[in-house]
Amino acid sequence: LAKTTQPISMDSYEGQEVNITCSHNNIATNDYITWYQQFPSQGPRFIIQGYKTKVTNEVASLFIPADRKSSTLSLPRVSLSDTAVYYCLVGGSNDYKLSFGAGTTVTVRA
Amino acid sequence: GAVVSQHPSRVICKSGTSVKIECRSLDFQATTMFWYRQFPKQSLMLMATSNEGSKATYEQGVEKDKFLINHASLTLSTLTVTSAHPEDSSFYICSIESGSPHGDTQYFGPGTRLTVL
């Protein structure tokens, strides 16, 4: 499993855009990049997944440069309810196991 | 995505007793389920991979005789913490493998908070 590095914490204010960058220098050719969100005392929730370029859904956008050695999760116009831990994971189709790193604690203030 | 439930949501037990936690896939037939443990302020740690109809695969350092896993059907996996001790107090979370082409998307249950007195 490719190792990932992301900031430990980020602070933001309501209405701002939050961008969390994850480094994964050892990403393999068949690896996908997946982001999860976890609220306190809850299981993680799948947010978005991508392989290259840009992916957007109703919750977030994921930007992946051509070399795929990093990725950026973008949360548009955050609210207080977006305060959570965000995990970046990298894995491929033959690797069903997930290895969670420390994650990024995002705190949104009023 | 798939819906996963866990029961109970929280349990308090005395040291030395055994506790069973159920993980159910409500709308998806899950051949593979995973069990994680999460201590306060820490990340999730994979404990074992549960395969329907076969023995679970445990991660290094996880005692298989202490954490018994049964995956008897495509919708139910159980984790039994045997002879629980205070150090087993943790947040236990199960997940199912989604069956996506990528194989690395999982759907998680709400977790079970175990407190051993």
pLDDT digits (tens, 9 = 90+) for B27-84: 888 888 999 999 999 999 999 999 888 889 999 999 999 999 998 888 999 999 999 9
**Looking at residue A108, what is its pLDDT?**
97
**Residue range A17-63, pLDDT digits in tens:** 999 999 999 888 888 899 999 999 999 999 999 999 999 999 999 99
pLDDT at A1: 59
| Residues of chain B contacting A32 with CB distance shorter than 8 Å | 102, 104
Q: How many CB atoms lie within 10 A of CB B43?
A: 16
At A94 the pLDDT is: 57
Residue of chain A whose Cα is closest to the Cα of B51: A96
pLDDT at position A93, please?
56
Residues 32-91 of A with CB under 8 A from B: 32, 34, 41-46, 49, 87, 89, 91
Looking at the partner chain, which of A89, A95, A102 has a beta carbon nearest the beta carbon of B103? Answer: A95
- Integer Cα distance of A53 and A61 in angstroms: 11
Is the predicted pLDDT of residue A95 greater than 70, yes or no? no
Residue A32 is nearest to which of B4, B104, B113, comparing CB atoms?
B104
Per-residue pLDDT at B89: 97
- pLDDT score, position B100: 65
At B89-101, the pLDDT tens digits run: 999 999 998 766 6
What residues in B contact A89, CB-CB < 8 Å? 104
- Of A1-5, A13-17, B60-64, the least confident: A1-5
Q: Which of B102, B107, B113, B115 to mutate to test the interface with A (most CBs of A within 10 A)?
A: B102
For the stretch A66-70, contacts whose Cβ atoms lie closer than 8 Å and that sit 24 or more positions apart, written own/partner, are: A68/A24, A68/A27, A68/A31, A68/A33, A69/A23, A69/A24, A69/A25, A69/A27, A70/A21, A70/A22, A70/A23, A70/A24
- Tell me if B91 sits within 8 A of B108, measured CB to CB: no
Q: By a Cβ cutoff of 8 Å, what residues of chain B touch chain A?
A: 1, 4, 6, 32, 34, 36, 43-46, 49, 91, 93-95, 97, 101-111, 113
Q: Give yes or no for A97 touching B (CB within 8 A).
A: yes
Q: Is the per-residue pLDDT at B102 higher than 70?
A: no
Per-residue confidence (pLDDT) for residue B4, from 0 to 100: 94
Write out pLDDT tens, residues A47-58: 999 999 999 999
Contact criterion met (CB < 8 Å) for A34 and B108: no
pLDDT of residue A105: 97
Whether A92 shows a pLDDT value over 70: the answer reads: no
Report the distance separating Cα B61 and Cα B84, nearest Å: 17
Cβ–Cβ contacts within 10 Å for residue B51, how many? 16
- Give B50's contacts in chain A (Cβ within 8 Å): none
Query: Which residues, in sequence order, are bridge partners of residue A10?
Result: A106
